[in-house]
């Protein structure tokens, strides 16, 4: 079950954190993984780790907010692999602040990466999937797609858009065999979170990390691997009847 042998998967933001966990698991399950990241060396390192474990992977730099870069990256993937079975739109950035503490530059930056990036990559992938008779798109949304979280105005805006893009693509392409779903995690403990806390809460790192953990009724943050396991199901043939859905992975947050 959940084997991806013979499939080609493009994973954005695959150089670290959740994207790296996704890339490694999909490589272990038999997919050829194309790792894209704005940090080219990080993408290459993830791909090298997959190959070292016996898998097939390539890594390259790609700024998902740049239309030219996205078009070029996807053209190169399809030229090498001749197909595209799975796209995971994982690349994203965060921001702390309510609307009064969100500048126009902040808003535009979040939109470019978290919304426009999903749009550009999906737009590049869909025609390939339609031509070959189907494929799977998985977007990384958030529990803030459903609920309000304090001081996350711009980030919440973008993840609400990811949720509605997911449903739009799912309904528009269901007859062409393209499935589209999203995962909506609560807080996931990644190196990004550690760096984010260090930057925004200097001197309070341990206390803030504990607060982030306690936000989930389970009393901890999730792990990148837990996100990857759900993603594996949703991108596998075993989930062939699932489309247009948003899956919380939240440690009980939405039950509060």
pLDDT digits (tens, 9 = 90+) for 224-235: 999 999 999 999
pLDDT band at 19 (very low <50, low <70, confident <90, very high): very high
- Each residue's pLDDT tens digit, 24-82: 999 999 999 999 999 999 999 999 999 999 999 999 999 999 999 999 999 999 999 99
Give dist(CA 113, CA 93) in Å, integer.
Answer: 7
**Residue 136, phi then psi, degrees to nearest 5:** -130, 130
Give dist(CA 236, CA 136) in Å, integer.
Answer: 8
- Do 162 and 137 form a contact (C-beta atoms < 8 A)? no
Q: Enumerate domains of the chain plus CATH numbers.
A: 8-185+223-244 (3.40.50.720), 188-221 (no CATH)
Residue 155 designated active-site = yes
pLDDT band at 155 (very low <50, low <70, confident <90, very high): very high
| Per-residue pLDDT, 200 | 83
| Per-residue pLDDT, 219 | 97
The model's pTM: 0.97
Residue 196 pLDDT > 90: no
Residue 10 pLDDT > 90: yes
| Per-residue pLDDT, 165 | 98
- Do 156 and 99 form a contact (C-beta atoms < 8 A)? no
- Which residue out of 155, 173, 229, 233 is catalytically annotated? 155
Coil, strand or helix at 73:
helix
Q: Vertex 47, ends 43 and 51: CA angle to 5°?
A: 170
Residue 256 pLDDT > 90: no
Give dist(CA 31, CA 11) in Å, integer.
Answer: 11
CB burial of 87-116 (b: ≥16 within 10 Å; e: otherwise) equals bbbbbbbbbbbeeeebeeebbeebbbbbbb
- Give the mean pLDDT of 76-100: 97
Average pLDDT, the chain: 97
């Amino acid at each position: 079950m959940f084997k991806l042998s013979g499939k080609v998967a493009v994973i954005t933001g695959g150089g670290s954190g959740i994207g790296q966990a996704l890339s490694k698991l999909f490589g272990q399950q038999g997919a050829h993984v194309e790792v894209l990241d704005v940090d080219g060396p990080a993408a290459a390192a993830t791909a090298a780790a997959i190959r070292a474990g016996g898998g097939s992977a390539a890594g390259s730099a790609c700024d998902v907010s740049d239309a030219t870069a996205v078009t070029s990256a996807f053209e190169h993937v399809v030229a090498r692999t001749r197909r595209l079975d799975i796209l995971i739109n994982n690349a994203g950035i965060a921001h702390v602040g309510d609307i009064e503490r969100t500048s126009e530059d902040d808003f535009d930056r979040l939109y470019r990466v978290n919304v426009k990036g999903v749009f550009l990559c999906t737009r590049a992938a869909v025609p390939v999937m339609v031509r070959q008779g189907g494929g799977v798109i998985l977007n990384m949304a958030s529990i803030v797609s459903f609920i309000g979280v304090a001081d996350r105005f711009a980030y919440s805006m973008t993840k609400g858009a990811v949720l509605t893009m997911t449903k739009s693509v799912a309904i528009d392409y269901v007859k062409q065999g393209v499935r589209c779903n999203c995962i909506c995690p609560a807080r996931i403990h990644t190196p990004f979170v550690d760096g984010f806390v260090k930057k925004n809460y200097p001197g309070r790192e341990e206390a803030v990390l504990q607060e982030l953990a306690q936000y989930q009724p389970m009393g901890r943050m999730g792990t990148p691997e837990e996100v990857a396991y759900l993603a594996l199901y949703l991108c596998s043939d075993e989930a062939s009847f699932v489309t247009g859905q948003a899956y919380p992975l939240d440690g009980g947050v939405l039950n509060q």
